[in-house]
């Protein structure tokens, strides 16, 4: 499998376009035209992770956190420079799947939920996809021609259906000026025409093409049409919410969480007498979703990197939060490895990094 093919597969399964605008995902270092000798999944691309890939004869690292994130002004012996240089020197490709993996329905939060045994997991916050409803008014005799033009450009279709139109008939009225060149009617005379209102849906990136086709092929000099922006639920979204098999005390839940994820320490904010049944998770740092979790009846919200004043605010608002450290996202290494094995048909060595990249020492 060449890297271009791998990127195409990843873009199909975890679309790069679903990442946040500030993010940096996709191929960060490497070449799209070389063969992948193997894939190593990692949370962070550290020097130790690069050495691990070299030792295993793997030339492609797929990391969750982008190594190149802020603007890189130079590559020297400082900071991340040595890592970047080593990747290039050893022809190792580095691919990042960050916020696009976060919003995948089986992404990082889902993977954490699997580790702690949550059932009936669903998205905490569903994303919405913008699209357009197009309404165009066409003389009855020209309707099939216009539909044919849209069909030729693969418009008015869904994943499984094509030629998806709705049409209704009515009467149109207009009076051409003396300078007009009407397709139907005479200058300075009011004309009544039997017309069809043709309606169909298109994706946002198709709307400019639709407008061009209407203006190029509609029989009228000045076609009348509407492009109405709408939104629909996407299959992606941030975070998950689910239920435990049995209700637990907060003390019991925390003890099990630390054992299952091998976390030496966590921080709890909230009522120590709280019983836990429904749990919401947003991996990484996402305390801003704590209120949404409470609104959706979660007994406990799991995230990381909660600051002092954020914790005080949550406590005042009666929200129970378990700060499980940003590094809890490390479960994505095995989770992504398993997903890649289902996504990639041809045989390729896929391993998850064994390196602990948690920058903290717990004392």
pLDDT tops 90 at residue 77: no
Shared-domain flag, residues 113 and 246: yes
Section 235-240 average pLDDT: 92
Residue with structure tokens 């997991």?
A: 121
Q: How many whole angstroms separate alpha carbon 300 and alpha carbon 323?
A: 10
Structure tokens at 32: 């799209």
Q: Are 234 and 128 in contact (CB under 8 A)?
A: yes
Q: At what angle do helices 332-343 and 3-13 cross, to 10 degrees?
A: 110
- Provide the pLDDT for residue 211: 96
Indicate whether 246 and 120 sit together in one domain: yes
121 and 240 housed in the same domain? yes
> Higher-confidence residue: 53 or 220?
53
Query: Do 120 and 81 lie in a common domain?
Result: no
Q: Does the pLDDT of residue 146 top 90, yes or no?
A: yes
**Mean pLDDT score, 263-285:** 95
Q: Give the integer Cα–Cα distance in Å for 45 and 48.
A: 8
The total of structural domains in the chain comes to: 3
Q: Are residues 132 and 118 in the same domain?
A: no
Q: Do residues 195 and 242 share a domain?
A: no
To the nearest 10 degrees (0 to 180), the angle between helices 81-89 and 47-55 is 20
Please determine, for residue 235, whether its predicted confidence score (pLDDT) is greater than 90: no
| Averaged pLDDT, 238-261 | 96
The pLDDT, as a whole number, for residue 155 is: 95
92 and 13, same structural domain?
yes
Q: pLDDT tens-digit profile of 21-65?
A: 899 999 999 999 999 999 999 999 999 999 999 999 999 999 999
pLDDT of residue 112: 97
The residue count for the chain: 363
Helix (H, G, I), strand (E, B) or coil at 266: coil
Contacts of residue 253, Cβ cutoff 8 Å, sequence gap at least 6: 244, 276, 300
| Contact call for residues 337 and 41 (beta carbons, < 8 A) | yes
29-33, 173-177, 235-239, 325-329: lowest mean pLDDT where? Answer: 173-177
Q: How confident is the model at residue 127 (pLDDT cuts 50, 70, 90)?
A: confident
Of 233, 262, 292, the domain-final residue: 233
CATH number at residue 60: 3.40.1390.30
pLDDT in the model for residue 24: 95
C-beta separation of 10 from 355 below 8 A: no
Residue 143 is part of which domain span?
A: 128-233
Whether 187 and 206 map to the same domain: the answer is yes
- Examine the domain organization and report whether 144 and 263 are in the same domain: no
Over 80: is that where the pLDDT of 71 sits?
no
**Nearest Cα residue to 296 out of 281, 311, 306, 286:** 281
5, two tokens: 């093919």
**Do 20 and 159 reside in the same domain of the chain?**
no
Q: Residue 159 — very low, low, confident or very high, per pLDDT cuts 50/70/90?
A: confident
* Closest by CA position to 279, among listed 260, 298, 254: 298
In a domain, 361, yes or no: no
Residue 338 lies in a domain: yes
Give the DSSP H/E element, type plus range, for residue 199.
strand 191-203
Q: How many C-beta atoms lie closer than 10 Å to residue 70's C-beta?
A: 7
pTM of the model: 0.82
Mean pLDDT of 240-248: 96
Enter the tokens of residue 247: 């209700």
> To the nearest whole percent, how much of the chain has pLDDT over 90?
83
């Amino acid at each position: 499998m060449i890297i271009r093919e791998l990127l195409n597969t990843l873009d199909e399964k975890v679309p790069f376009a679903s990442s946040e605008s500030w993010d940096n995902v996709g191929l960060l270092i490497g070449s799209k035209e070389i063969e992948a000798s193997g894939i190593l999944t990692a949370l962070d691309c550290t020097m130790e992770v690069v050495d691990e890939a070299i030792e295993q004869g793997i030339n492609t690292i797929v990391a969750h956190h982008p190594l190149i994130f802020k603007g890189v002004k130079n590559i020297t012996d400082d900071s991340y420079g040595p890592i970047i240089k080593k990747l290039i020197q050893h022809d190792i490709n580095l691919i990042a799947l960050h916020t696009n993996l976060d919003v995948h329905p089986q992404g990082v939060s889902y993977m954490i939920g699997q580790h702690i045994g949550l059932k009936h997991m669903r998205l905490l916050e569903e994303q919405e996809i913008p699209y357009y409803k197009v309404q165009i008014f066409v003389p009855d005799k020209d309707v099939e021609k216009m539909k044919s033009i849209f069909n030729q450009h693969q418009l008015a279709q869904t994943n499984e259906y094509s030629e998806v139109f709705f049409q209704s008939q009515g009467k149109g009225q207009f009076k051409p000026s003396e300078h007009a060149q009407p397709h139907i009617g005479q200058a300075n005379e009011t004309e009544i025409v039997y017309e069809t209102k043709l309606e169909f849906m298109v994706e946002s990136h198709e709307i400019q093409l639709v407008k061009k086709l209407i203006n190029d092929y509609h029989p009228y000099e000045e076609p009348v049409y509407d492009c109405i922006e709408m939104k629909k639920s996407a299959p992606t979204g941030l975070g998950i919410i689910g239920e435990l098999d049995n209700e637990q005390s907060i003390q019991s839940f925390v003890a099990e969480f630390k054992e299952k994820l091998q976390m030496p320490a966590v921080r709890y904010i909230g009522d120590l007498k709280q019983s836990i049944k429904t749990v919401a998770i947003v991996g990484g740092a996402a305390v801003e979703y704590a209120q949404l979790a409470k609104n959706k009846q979660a007994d406990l919200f799991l995230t990381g990197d909660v600051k002092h004043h954020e914790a005080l605010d949550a406590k005042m608002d009666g929200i129970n939060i378990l700060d499980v450290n940003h590094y809890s996202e490390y479960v994505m290494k095995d989770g992504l490895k398993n997903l890649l094995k289902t996504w990639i048909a041809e045989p390729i060595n896929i391993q998850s990094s064994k390196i602990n990249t948690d920058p903290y020492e717990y004392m």
